[in-house]
Amino acid sequence: MRRIISFILLIIIFVGIYLALTHIPYAKDKMKVSKHYINNGIKENGAANIVTAVVLNYRGFDTLGEVTVLFIGAVGLGMILFGSRTNSKDRTPASLILTTGCRLLFPFILLLGIYIFIHGHLTPGGGFQGGAIIASGFLLNYLGCLKRPVKENGINAIESLAGTIFVMIGLIGLLYGGYFLLNFLPKGVLNTLVSGGILPLLYIAIGFKVGAELAGIIYKLME
């Protein structure tokens, strides 16, 4: 009985979504906002990657919200797992090939992640992607070598510092020009590393924050 009712409900929802989606014109620019971004985004922000301009400048407050949601997720995981620490000394160490491999690969993974979030305003990628790549480097190091390159307190310090820097840059914009996350620095020459005003600084802060948060989640789960 319950299955029949849930099946009927699913069909009703499917028909509703289908009827709604058939009325939406696909791939036509009806919105004035997106036209404004495409026509004026490069001129107003000096960033070659328009996606970065939208994520960090026009929608910068949403990005702060996303980072906060990730932080709350990490804190909640720490609360659930608090007190359930098992002794991890009975694990067998990995072979020489695995330990050497992960020790050699770890700096290059860090380099790739840092490259991606420093060049976030020029090429595809940015703080979230670079931070996730850095965290996967920490995952490799912990799976292969059972080692932690950074202590847990250091990770918490990096995370808090990066979050504070993000909010501070936003507040400087508020003092300087009247609204939060104003792009107050000079725009620079397009397609160079030092361009786009505050966007590279914000992406560096987000990269460190996301990398530290995800690495902290991995540490908490591996204990």
* Interface residues toward other proteins, by CB under 8 A: 2, 49, 51, 84, 116, 124-126, 128-129, 132-133, 135-136, 139, 214, 217-218, 221-222
Q: Are 188 and 196 in contact (CB under 8 A)?
A: yes
Q: How far is the CB of 191 from other proteins (least distance, A)?
A: 17
Q: Kindly report the CA angle at 122 between 116 and 128, in degrees rounded to 5?
A: 35
In Å, how far are 29, 31, 79, 153 from 160, measured between CA atoms?
A: 40, 38, 18, 11
Question: Which residues are within 8 A (CB) of 104 and not within 5 positions of it... i.e. 6 or more apart?
Answer: none
Q: Which is nearer to other proteins, 116 or 182 (CB)?
A: 116
Q: How far is the CB of 38 from other proteins (least distance, A)?
A: 14
Q: Which is nearer to other proteins, 17 or 222 (CB)?
A: 222
Q: Which is nearer to other proteins, 127 or 173 (CB)?
A: 127
The three-class DSSP label of residue 5 is helix
Q: Which is nearer to other proteins, 53 or 162 (CB)?
A: 53
Q: How many CA within 13 A on the CB side of residue 101? A: 8
Token digits of residue 192: 């160079």
Q: Which is nearer to other proteins, 94 or 172 (CB)?
A: 94
Q: How far is the CB of 168 from other proteins (least distance, A)?
A: 26
Q: How far is the CB of 124 from other proteins (least distance, A)?
A: 4
Round to whole Å and give the CA distance between 104 and 191: 32
Q: How far is the CB of 220 from other proteins (least distance, A)?
A: 9
